């Protein structure tokens, strides 16, 4: 079985950092690291099963070949480069946000 590489765009890294900061500072919750750990763990599973998640059906990424992955209250938008076996993580957003 061929594994895919998972690469995050700079924006996706920033998104995850902002999630951590929001939870740690605004919510004053000790679970910020746990949330970002769950996000990174779910992203690592895309190495084996990038097609296991649904196509993006709404927002600016709809109908353009992007897929989405739900993790707790967050949604990951990604695309698959089948030729090069790479999964590109585009953004990670709060699920209630309209994007």
Q: Per residue, what are the HEC states of the chain?
A: CCCCEEEECHHHHHHHHHHHHHHHHHCCCCCHHHHHHHHHHHHHHCCCCHHHCCECCCCCCCCCCEEEEEECCEEEEEEEECCCCEEEEEEEEECCCCC
Domain count, the chain: 1
Residue 99 in any domain: the answer is no
- Which domain range does residue 71 map to? 5-94
Residue 44 in any domain: the answer is yes
Each residue's pLDDT tens digit in the chain (99 positions)? 689 999 999 999 999 999 998 888 876 667 778 899 999 999 999 999 999 999 999 999 999 999 999 999 999 999 999 999 999 999 999 986 655
The CATH number of whichever domain residue 20 belongs to comes to: 3.30.2310.20
């Amino acid at each position: 079985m061929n594994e895919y590489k998972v690469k995050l765009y700079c924006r996706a890294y920033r998104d995850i950092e902002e999630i951590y900061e929001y939870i740690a500072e605004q919510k004053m919750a000790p679970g910020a690291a746990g949330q970002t750990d769950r996000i990174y763990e779910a992203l690592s599973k895309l190495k084996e099963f990038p097609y296991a998640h649904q196509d993006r059906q709404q927002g600016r990424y709809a109908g353009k070949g992007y897929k989405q992955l739900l993790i707790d209250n967050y949604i990951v938008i990604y695309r698959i480069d089948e030729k090069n076996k790479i999964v590109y993580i585009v953004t990670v957003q709060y699920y209630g946000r309209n994007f």
